[in-house]
Amino acid sequence: MDYFAHPSAVIDEGCSIGVGTKIWHFSHIMIGAVLGERCNIGQNVVISPEVILGRNVKVQNNVSIYTGVTCKDDVFLGPSCVFTNVINPRSAVNRKDEYAKTIVGEGASIGANATIVCGHNIGKYAFIGAGSVVTKTIPDYALVVGNPARQTGWMSEYGHKLKFNEEGIAICPESGQEYLLENSKVTRIK
């Protein structure tokens, strides 16, 4: 094996697990799941069939990632966050053919205990605050908090709140990267 799995982890046949990935206590990786290189899967995590995780995805303890979810490279999923995959679930009604897709963009962070309602994508480098309930699509670099989640600002790729000047330019205090806010969209310019 080119990855580490704690003896208590359950890994179904038919998964693809990248080199250098670590899977910790009591986690279950189900058939057809794809985990990229250097992922870190905390304890008591469920990764359902056909979930796709890119490279270097960090999944903290007690996270549930259900069928229909794709996380791009460098995504962070905080403790006990959860994804849904059916808008109107009922125990007595089988809706497996109605799973809605959710894509979490490169470098995005989802805080502890956040809930992502299915069918709403999270933009690259977006930052979802702890306990937030996402009920709509979130743009790249957006900072959202609350229930329902509302945008309160913009974040750098290094996780700092951006402060834009009159020209719509912001500089990340840690990386020195420059960002442009134009037409309610943020892009990195340097």
The residues spanned by each domain of the chain are 1-155, 162-190
Return the residue matching tokens 């899977």.
23
CATH no. of 1-155:
2.160.10.10
The SS3 assignment for 163 reads coil
How many CA atoms, within 13 angstroms, populate the side-chain half-sphere of residue 108? 27
| Beta-carbon contacts of residue 183 (< 8 Å; ≥ 6 apart) | none
Residue 130 has pLDDT above 80, yes or no: yes
Residue from 1, 46, 42 nearest 20 by CA: 1
CB 123 within 8 A of CB 136: no
- State pLDDT tens for residues 32-44: 999 999 999 999 9
pLDDT tens-digit series, residues 83-115: 999 999 999 999 999 999 999 999 999 999 999
Per-residue pLDDT at 1: 79
